[in-house]
Structure 1
Amino acid sequence: MRDRGPRPPRVLSPLREHLRETFWFAPALTLVCACVLWFAAAAVDDQLVSYLREERAYDDIQDLASVAEDTQQIVVTVSSAMMTFIGVVFSISLVAVQMASGQLTPRVVRIFVRSRISKLTLSVFLATFVFSLLVLSSYESETDPRRVTSLPFVQSVLTALLVGLSLLLFIGYVSSTLRLMQVGPVLDRITRDTFRVLGRMPAARPAGEPLPAETAQILYAGRAGVLRDVNVARLVRAARRQGVVLRLIPRLGDFVVPGTPVLAVHGGAEPSRRALRYTVSVGVQRTPHLDLAFGLRQLSDIALRALSDAVNDPTTAVQCLDRIVQFLAAAVPLPLGTVHHRDRTGAVRLVQEVPSWENLVDLGFEEVRRCAVPAPQVTRRLLAGIDDLVRLAGPERRGPLVRHRALLVQGVQRAVPDAAERAFALCPDRQGIG
């Protein structure tokens, strides 16, 4: 989670992130690769048989035919059992994901969907199944080495290798799924995704001069949904070619409907609709690609569910506060509120509103603070986290922290009548109670 500095936006970065949010692209691509691999292996086998027949090496053909015959039973077994194996494995996995989403938050399902090991495992399983079916079509009943025309030796070896790879991936997949059912790894994954968003943010230097006058607004014309991503590189390029500055009106995570303005044009005519195609992505749920507040939203949701009467798990809430404090500590020195995306010459071309420091503090602490009053373990950890952030923050950023600390103290004083219990609940402790 080291800060590697801001990364320049890439045109294909949103597409890559959107493909990671799907579960069909990797398996479909792997099926195509399996077919290509079979055609290549079949061509090698044909060339090998032709060469041996030309050399009249019938003994070698007989040896290869014996190996292929021995592996035929493996291929038949794999082709008949692989789909059943896939169904059982992923049925168990879906139950595990359902349990994790019920205990933590439904938004953790996206971690399973984005998991590389999950997609790779499914892809290799399907590729092994399809490849084994194709290999079966290469076997023939002819046993005379002088008349053999098809000898799937290389194909059989590749099938065995795919089976071995499937078994190794199955072990890794089960381990990954079991980690998804644990609170710590899930919180760590959410935190890492959030820190990646910090790494994609520009340096956010204030513009040298105010923006030109607003000359036009571009209305949204698609289906209603959550603004989940923008293609920063394409917007900067379109603004540079037009000689204007674009300003993104809604923030990432806002719900937009057709007819609402999404872009404001400053300093000239608006770019063409063609130049702005595929620059704004709207979907049914938020994604962590550029949404700075989405990680805190997930951590806060998990903490709220842990503090609910139905779950009553303050230790999980403390773990969430650990990560919330970690993120806010990293965001303390950053200039938040408005970021300026620049072109290659350093000119501001896109202005984007991001959550301010006060917004992030409120998102991380407000709802948790309201529910934490009856749980002394959480109040102690919350006070310790706020005190640590106050030490790190400058005078201009201590206001929201001091306000939340005062409100927490007032809430505990009203809810806990006993002085000794109240003093215990208001004693800062980084482990809560331990």
Structure 2
Amino acid sequence: MPGDVRRGRERGRWSTGGLWTWPAVAVLLGVAAARSLVEVPVPFGWPRTILWPGDVESLSALLQVLATTTITATTLTFSITVVALQLASQQFSPRLLREFTRDRVTKLVLAVLLGTFAYSITVLRELRAVDEAPAAAAFVAGVLALVSLSALIGLIAHIVTILRIDTMMLSVNGETRRAMAASYPAYDAPRDAPPVEAARPEGQGALVRAAGGGFVSAVDVARLVGAMRERRACTELLVRPGDHVVTGAPVAQVWRTADGSAPPQDEDAHDVGDAVRAAVSLGYERTLEQDVAFGFRQLEDIAVKALSPGINDPVTAAHAIGHMAELVVHLLGRRLGPVVHADDAGEPRVLMPDRDLTYFLDLACGQVRRYGSREPTVLAALLRLLRDAAAAARDDHQRAVVEAHADAVVAALDGAVADHDAAPVHDLRQRVGLALAGDVRGAYVDRAGETRSI
């Protein structure tokens, strides 16, 4: 079911657990492995010589060096991570910080280093009770030393890669497209329920108010449909993933369906309201799980930050717009707007609002258009986005929305821009018109690629 809370979660290189989950598990495993390996007997002769040729004192020295080195490397890892977070916040967008705290590689490196440290000090403690050096434990300590060194080198290479702005934008693009595919049905997919206007009961429903504040992070539609079916009720949500609500703000209205359209009263209203609040998850920050608009927000943040006087990088802004163009084209192939979710019997149970094309194009173009009004390169990038959208538009409504935004981009062009510099902007506006009229070839063919590259 589109919008289900269990769908659209990115696997890949992101992890949804806490930053300390993997390291804590690694520490426990390190302690357990150390206590076990110390007790493993190794016969004298060539097996012991291969695993560990030294005595207890030499092993103790190795373990002390290993423990000290791993703690130093852990400190370096934290320092690198903090610098990465600071750079991402200042140069790109503070809303990108969540991606770093979910990075699997960073968690894995911390787990290896702290697990090695726990292993080393545990074996070192156990050496007091043995006469012969535990060869198996010594060999594993040497292996962990090499693994820790490799992990640290790998982390440095990884941080260099993920700090590239193109890598960040590609990551946001991919995660947003996955959320889009999980949240919105295909444009031409059959409808399983009537339109919202036809499914909405008559009269005023009983309001359900938020018990707390925060961002709507997810709506468990399947749970909510089941709850409404059990209570023979219908609810219309007044919020959607990404919306910010405060305590006491209305989040839904509900009707009883048993007697037509009467709202529930007294205790029934509290029961239905609790069911609605339980299905609407609130958090302290926005997430991309069901909030497709948050992906656009992150990319637009990058573009706006690039246009700030302190950075002044219109090329990065144009690249961010290019990623949003890819997302807009995919959106045009999806059915946007409010959705009715029915139960197995076909009875409408949940009326869920959602964002439309106008909202997404306002989000993608609005701030960038205003901040970049004096930079033709940025306005031309916006018109390239709208040309791509015009070529992919499915119906007259989509074309009308695209045309309105194209006119707004041209209107935003600062009058102080020289005619020569403004010419590409007006040319691309004409190309948007050609794409809207169906002349896709004329919209894209140019002399030397000047309407496709910067």
TM-score, scaled relative to structure 1: 0.82
| Alpha carbons of structure 1 residues 19 and 273: separation in structure 2 relative to 1, 3 Å | farther
Secondary structure in 2 matching 1:290:
coil
Q: C-alpha deviations, 1:277-301, integer Å up to 9, x for none?
A: 7533323321111111001111111
| Alpha carbons of structure 1 residues 106 and 235: separation in structure 2 relative to 1, 3 Å | same
| Number of aligned residue pairs | 410
- Equivalent residue letter for 2:159: T
- Alignment RMSD, CA only? 3.3
**Counterpart of 1:125?**
113
Alignment of 1:62-101 (within 5 A): 66=53, 69=56, 71-101=59-89
| Alpha carbons of structure 1 residues 36 and 10: separation in structure 2 relative to 1, 3 Å | farther
Q: C-alpha deviations, 1:377-413, integer Å up to 9, x for none?
A: 1222222221121121121211221111112222327
In the alignment, is the contact (CA less than 8 A) between 1:314 and 1:378 conserved in 2?
Answer: yes
**Counterpart of 1:31?**
27
* 1:20 pairs with 2:16: yes
Alpha-carbon distance in structure 1 between the residues aligned to 2:45 and 2:93: 64
**Counterpart of 1:226?**
215
In terms of mean alpha carbon deviation, does 175-184 or 198-207 score higher? 198-207
**Counterpart of 2:439?**
none
* 1:252 pairs with 2:216: no
**Counterpart of 1:192?**
174
In terms of mean alpha carbon deviation, does 156-165 or 331-340 score higher? 156-165
In the alignment, is the contact (CA less than 8 A) between 1:413 and 1:422 conserved in 2?
Answer: no
Q: Percent identity?
A: 28
Alpha-carbon distance in structure 2 between the residues aligned to 1:226 and 1:432: 38
- Equivalent residue letter for 1:197: A
In terms of mean alpha carbon deviation, does 133-142 or 123-132 score higher? 133-142
| Alpha carbons of structure 1 residues 92 and 196: separation in structure 2 relative to 1, 3 Å | same
Q: 1:169 Cα deviation (Å)?
A: 2.4
- Equivalent residue letter for 1:231: D
Alpha-carbon distance in structure 1 between the residues aligned to 2:92 and 2:86: 10
Alignment of 1:244-393 (within 5 A): 244-267=233-256, 269=268, 271=271, 279-341=279-341, 348-393=348-393
| Among candidates 203, 206, 217, match of residue 207 of structure 2 | 217
**Counterpart of 2:193?**
207
Q: 1:320 Cα deviation (Å)?
A: 0.7
Secondary structure in 2 matching 1:140:
helix
**Counterpart of 2:431?**
none
Q: 1:325 Cα deviation (Å)?
A: 0.5
**Counterpart of 1:405?**
406
- Equivalent residue letter for 1:221: A
| Alpha carbons of structure 1 residues 421 and 10: separation in structure 2 relative to 1, 3 Å | closer
| Alpha carbons of structure 1 residues 336 and 130: separation in structure 2 relative to 1, 3 Å | same
**Counterpart of 1:107?**
95
| Alpha carbons of structure 1 residues 313 and 11: separation in structure 2 relative to 1, 3 Å | closer
In the alignment, is the contact (CA less than 8 A) between 1:38 and 1:131 conserved in 2?
Answer: yes
| Alpha carbons of structure 1 residues 189 and 141: separation in structure 2 relative to 1, 3 Å | same
**Structure 2 unaligned residues grouped into runs of 5+:** 258-267, 429-448
Q: 1:308 Cα deviation (Å)?
A: 2.0
Secondary structure in 1 matching 2:350:
strand
In terms of mean alpha carbon deviation, does 336-345 or 172-181 score higher? 336-345
Q: 1:338 Cα deviation (Å)?
A: 1.4
**Counterpart of 2:149?**
167
In the alignment, is the contact (CA less than 8 A) between 1:380 and 1:430 conserved in 2?
Answer: no
Q: 1:217 Cα deviation (Å)?
A: 3.3
In the alignment, is the contact (CA less than 8 A) between 1:246 and 1:264 conserved in 2?
Answer: yes
Secondary structure in 2 matching 1:138:
helix
Alpha-carbon distance in structure 1 between the residues aligned to 2:396 and 2:281: 38
Secondary structure in 2 matching 1:420:
helix
In terms of mean alpha carbon deviation, does 311-320 or 334-343 score higher? 334-343
In the alignment, is the contact (CA less than 8 A) between 1:65 and 1:153 conserved in 2?
Answer: yes
In the alignment, is the contact (CA less than 8 A) between 2:338 and 2:353 conserved in 1?
Answer: yes
Q: 1:244 Cα deviation (Å)?
A: 3.2
* 1:10 pairs with 2:6: yes
Secondary structure in 2 matching 1:312:
coil
In the alignment, is the contact (CA less than 8 A) between 2:5 and 2:219 conserved in 1?
Answer: no
Q: 1:202 Cα deviation (Å)?
A: 5.0
Alpha-carbon distance in structure 2 between the residues aligned to 1:320 and 1:250: 28
| Alpha carbons of structure 1 residues 154 and 255: separation in structure 2 relative to 1, 3 Å | same
Q: 1:132 Cα deviation (Å)?
A: 1.4
In the alignment, is the contact (CA less than 8 A) between 1:128 and 1:163 conserved in 2?
Answer: yes
Q: 1:194 Cα deviation (Å)?
A: 0.8
Q: C-alpha deviations, 1:183-232, integer Å up to 9, x for none?
A: 1001111111211211221538362351445653332223x222223334
| Alpha carbons of structure 1 residues 353 and 272: separation in structure 2 relative to 1, 3 Å | closer
Alpha-carbon distance in structure 1 between the residues aligned to 2:238 and 2:370: 31
Alpha-carbon distance in structure 2 between the residues aligned to 1:203 and 1:280: 21
Alpha-carbon distance in structure 2 between the residues aligned to 1:276 and 1:152: 60
| Alpha carbons of structure 1 residues 412 and 231: separation in structure 2 relative to 1, 3 Å | same
In the alignment, is the contact (CA less than 8 A) between 1:226 and 1:283 conserved in 2?
Answer: yes
In terms of mean alpha carbon deviation, does 255-264 or 105-114 score higher? 255-264
Alpha-carbon distance in structure 2 between the residues aligned to 1:385 and 1:13: 27
Alpha-carbon distance in structure 2 between the residues aligned to 1:99 and 1:80: 29
